[in-house]
Every structure is written in structure tokens, then in C-alpha cells.
């Protein structure tokens, strides 16, 4: 949904001229989409190459050709997931921190792509190789996110550094909520907790005056 067809054409790369290049791009796109599906549906441990292959509808050879290893496949998937999830993409509107936080949960975190990303993150905690590969991109994303929120908000209690801290707290909470969601069958429960949290942390930030 975030990575729809339109996204392919508006790629930052010179847009794939030759047919072979287009083939490759399409194949990789299909495969990474399948990875996201599998991660969301089965979790990292159960996302085997065979399963991805079947879901993507490509042969074993094709998959191996584009991604020589599973790690490679995951790395590229993470990069694709990180790209549209940027706060720049317009999720944060700075009407109020409380509203933005709820929006961030609903539109970014609590989505198929958000859940898939967390699956990889969780796996990377204990997989050193994977961790090393995705760390740079993750840091870049976090830095960009922090810069964005500092630009949009100011702390009620302290300095600008506190805004970054507060949003880090929010990110940590959202990740924790993610874990809990897979346990709690009750659907309303998560929303209730999310709402109360936003209510509590929201007042500690205020939107900056537009210049």
C-alpha cells in the first residue's frame, strides 16, 4: 500500500531504461513484497526462502539470482520499507503531538509494513550479521526522524534535546505496543492504551510557531 505501483516509476534511480533492468526491478519488487507479507503473517523465524518464493510466484533460481543470500534479501527489504516511512512523507502535521502520535501508530507502525519492519528489527537483535547490515540505514532514518520532530515541536519542560528524547520514548512505546498486540486478542485494548499514552505524553510538547 505504501509501496504501490506508482512508487516504482518515481524511483530515485534513473528509472530503469533497458528491459533487463526493468525485469530485475519488477522481480525484486515482487520478492520484497512477498517478504513483507510473510513477515507480517508468519514472523521472521517462519519466513523461509521457500515460502517467499512461493508467495512471490518466482522460481528458486530467480530468487537466488537477485538475492544471493537471505540476508541480502532482508537488507533490501528493510531499505525499501524505510524509504516511504520517513516522517517527511507527511504523516506528522504538527497540529498536536497527541494527534500526530496516534496518526503515526495507525498509518505507519500498525500496518503490514510496520509489522514486517519490527520483525526484522527483532531478529536483528540477536543476528549479528543482519544487525551490522541494517544498522546504517536505521541510524539514518532515526536521525532524520529526530531532525523532523525537533523542527516541528518544542519541549514544554526543557530544551530541544528533550523533544528528541520524548519522541524516542514514543518510538520505544510504539515498539512495545507492537509486541503486546500479538498477544492481546481484544482489539479495543490496544487502542485504549495507545490513546491514554498519547494523552499523557502529548502535553509535554507543543508545535512550533510557523515562521
Q: Which residues bind a second copy (CB under 8 A)?
A: 42-46, 121-127, 131, 135, 138, 162, 165-166, 168-169, 171-180, 182-183, 192-193, 196-197, 200-201, 204
Per CB under 7 A, the segment of 12-20, 115-123, 166-174, 191-199 that binds DNA is: 12-20
Residue 195 neighbours by CB distance under 10 Å: 14
- CB contact set of 161 (below 8 Å; sequence gap of 6+): none
Least distance between DNA and beta carbon 178 (Å)? 22
Cβ atoms of 131 and 139 closer than 8 Å? no
Least distance between a second copy and beta carbon 87 (Å)? 18
**Footprint on residues 113-152 left by DNA (CB under 7 A):** none
Given a second copy, DNA, none, residue 59, with its beta carbon under 5 to 8 Å by kind, binds: DNA
Please classify residue 18 by burial: count the beta carbons closer than 10 Å to its beta carbon, then call 0-12 exposed, 13-18 middle and 19+ buried: exposed
Given a second copy, DNA, none, residue 94, with its beta carbon under 5 to 8 Å by kind, binds: none
- Asked if 14 touches DNA (CB under 7 A), the answer is no
Length of the chain: 211
Comparing CA positions, the residue from 71, 106, 119 lying closest to residue 190 is: 106
Amino acid at each position: 500500500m505504501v509501496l504501490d505501483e506508482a512508487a516504482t516509476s518515481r524511483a530515485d534511480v534513473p528509472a530503469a531504461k533497458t528491459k533487463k533492468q526493468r525485469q530485475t526491478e519488477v522481480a525484486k519488487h515482487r520478492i520484497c513484497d512477498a517478504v513483507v507479507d510473510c513477515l507480517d503473517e508468519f514472523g521472521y523465524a517462519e519466513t523461509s526462502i521457500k515460502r517467499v518464493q512461493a508467495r512471490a510466484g518466482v522460481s528458486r533460481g530467480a530468487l537466488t539470482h537477485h538475492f544471493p543470500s537471505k540476508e541480502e534479501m532482508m537488507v533490501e527489504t528493510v531499505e525499501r520499507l524505510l524509504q516511504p516511512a520517513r516522517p517527511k512523507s507527511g504523516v506528522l502535521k504538527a497540529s498536536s503531538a497527541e494527534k500526530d502520535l496516534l496518526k503515526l501508530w495507525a498509518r505507519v507502525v500498525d500496518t503490514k509494513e510496520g509489522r514486517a519492519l519490527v520483525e526484522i528489527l527483532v531478529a536483528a537483535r540477536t543476528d549479528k550479521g543482519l544487525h551490522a547490515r541494517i544498522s546504517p540505514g536505521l541510524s539514518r532514518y532515526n536521525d532524520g526522524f529526530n531532525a523532523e520532530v525537533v523542527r516541528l515541536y518544542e519541549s514544554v519542560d526543557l530544551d530541544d534535546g528533550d523533544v528528541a528524547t520524548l519522541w524516542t520514548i514514543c518510538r520505544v512505546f510504539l515498539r512495545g505496543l507492537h509486541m503486546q498486540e500479538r498477544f492481546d486478542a481484544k482489539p479495543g485494548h490496544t487502542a485504549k492504551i495507545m490513546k491514554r499514552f498519547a494523552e499523557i505524553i502529548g502535553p509535554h510538547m507543543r508545535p512550533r510557531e510557523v515562521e
